[in-house]
Structure 1
Amino acid sequence: MRILPVAVASVALVLVQPGLAGAASDPSTTVTFTVTSGALSMSVPVSSTLGSGAPGTQVSAPLGPVTVTDDRALLSASWSVTVSETDFANGPSTVPATRATYTVGSVTTTGVITATPTNVTLSNSPQVVVTGSAGVGDNTATWDPTISVALPAGAVGGTYTGTLTHSVA
């Protein structure tokens, strides 16, 4: 019977003694990490053929997918895509760039970005065709624009070539 009171006394002693239980401070660890960020980039088709047509008619075709990739991992990202077109040339004969239109069509996005399209009549000067706003983190926007050229009634037969330049900033 004496064993029981001794055990109770030692438990009471532990609870009464300061510093023996619960006195150690809670240790903490600082944890850090880095979110990597990339660049703002764009991919476009290398070439496109609009087909053929007689003078006074129109040629038109989808260009192929244009994609803006924003890997800058920003909190409030924005960007603008501009296009410009050289005059279409066939030897000494030309069709002015202003006879062509760029119709954006629908824009598909991934991630968080608001993409706003604007259809334009092309020219030698850059014009905004798609803007991205309110982007958060990494995101993309893709569209397949249609290029149409109104052929002049006096167009000389042959293959005409021009350069469509896309830029993103």
Structure 2
Amino acid sequence: MDRRQAERLVNTYSDLILRLSYTYLKSTADAQDICQTVFLKLLTNPRHFESPEHEKAWIIRTAANACKDLLKSHWRRTTVAMDEAAPVPAPPVEEGSLLAAVQLLPPKYRAVIYLYYYEGYAAKEIARLLGENPATISTRLNRGRARLRTLLEQEELA
């Protein structure tokens, strides 16, 4: 892979990977690590993609899997995050915004809501990207919407 191709990949997908990773991890530093991990995998093992959609799907799937691996790692479960030790500013999310409410959802709902509404993927595509059953994704979307509705109603009453 040449330098031009690598720069194109970084310019095209780094923001997507960072935002998706942040929805899983709620940590800017961890999201940046995942972004580097995804590009490292792609650069050290170049792949041939059938289309730009195939390329984007591979990148999303790889980023989601890397986030899941990090979340279930022994190191992650037995250490304190730096965010808890010394607050570091994360990407600004306006308080009271819809995105702030989405960030309050559990990761399994947060990711599907993000991919569906912010990235424009259909439930079947999300299922394929995340390696889940389409019915599972539809259920998570419905439950995520219900939780989001409850959060927004509570905020409205406050």
Larger Rg: 1
Greater RCO (CA < 8 Å, at least 6 residues apart): 1
TM (norm. structure 2) is: 0.20
Q: With the length of structure 1 as denominator, give the TM-score of the two structures.
A: 0.19
